[in-house]
Amino acid sequence: MRRQSLTRWLFWPGLLLIALSASAQSPELPAGIIKHDPYPAPPLALRDLDGEPYALKNQRGAPVFVHFWASWCGPCREEMPAIQRMWDTLEEEGLKIALVNTAEDEDTVFSFLAAHAPTIRPLMDRDGQVTEGWEPRGLPATYLVDAQGQVQYQAIGGRPWDEPAYLDFLRSLIKAP
């Protein structure tokens, strides 16, 4: 009887300790963020609005916020100022961004971003082929790629990226090994 009592007394606190340590190791996901089994990021090699080349594979060593959008997309329009504020906050902390415009012309993109996200360098997917390679279910679509080039998380639809829960989550990705 005494042995069962001692076993029970040790079992439950031990189980609680295991559960607490597991939850401390994984950040709580903000609304709309989906965790994936990590997989290699699809190819992403485009030119920016100024014609300068960009390749996701050259960003290894830092997490990358890969975001597909279009100016005609209502949720994209709504969330772009929040992305600009998030970028203003986290750029110096080590987060990289790939803001991919899907199938629009330079004048449209320039005019839109001048008003909504003036300091983010957009990438131009003129024919939408790179976007299709990532297989988003709609726009906006965000993929969070870790420092090793693996897609870890995804968000479909607009998100308040500048709110504390999202900023804290993104910071946890920046600090991850």
Nearest one of 73, 65, 80, 69 to 125, comparing CA atoms:
69
> Would you say residue 155 has pLDDT above 90?
yes
Confidence of residue 80 (pLDDT cuts 50, 70, 90): very high
> Would you say residue 61 has pLDDT above 70?
yes
Nearest one of 167, 140, 166, 177 to 33, comparing CA atoms:
166
Give Cβ neighbours of residue 155 (< 8 Å, ≥ 6 apart).
Answer: 32, 33, 34, 141, 142, 144
- Token pair for residue 67? 């975001």
Q: Which residue has the tokens 């029970």?
A: 8
CATH number for the domain whose boundaries are 30-175: 3.40.30.10
Give the model confidence (pLDDT) of 3-45 as tens digits. 555 445 444 444 443 443 333 445 589 999 999 999 999 999 9
Give the model confidence (pLDDT) of 93-124 as tens digits. 999 999 999 999 999 999 999 999 999 999 99
**What number is the average pLDDT over the span 132-146?**
98
CA distance 9 to 42: 50
Give the model confidence (pLDDT) of 32-43 as tens digits. 999 999 999 999
SS3 content of the chain, % helix, strand, coil (to 5): 45, 25, 30
**Strand intervals (E) in the chain:** 33-40, 45-48, 53-55, 64-69, 96-102, 122-125, 141-145, 150-156
Q: What pLDDT score does 169 carry?
A: 98
Q: What pLDDT score does 177 carry?
A: 81
Domain boundaries, the chain: 30-175
For residue 16, with 0-12 CB atoms within 10 Å meaning exposed, 13-18 middle and 19 or more buried, which class applies?
A: exposed
Confidence of residue 1 (pLDDT cuts 50, 70, 90): low
Q: What pLDDT score does 18 carry?
A: 40
- Token pair for residue 146? 């870790």
Q: Is the dihedral of CA 125, 31, 57, 149 positive or negative?
A: negative
Q: What pLDDT score does 6 carry?
A: 44
CA distance 41 to 133: 10
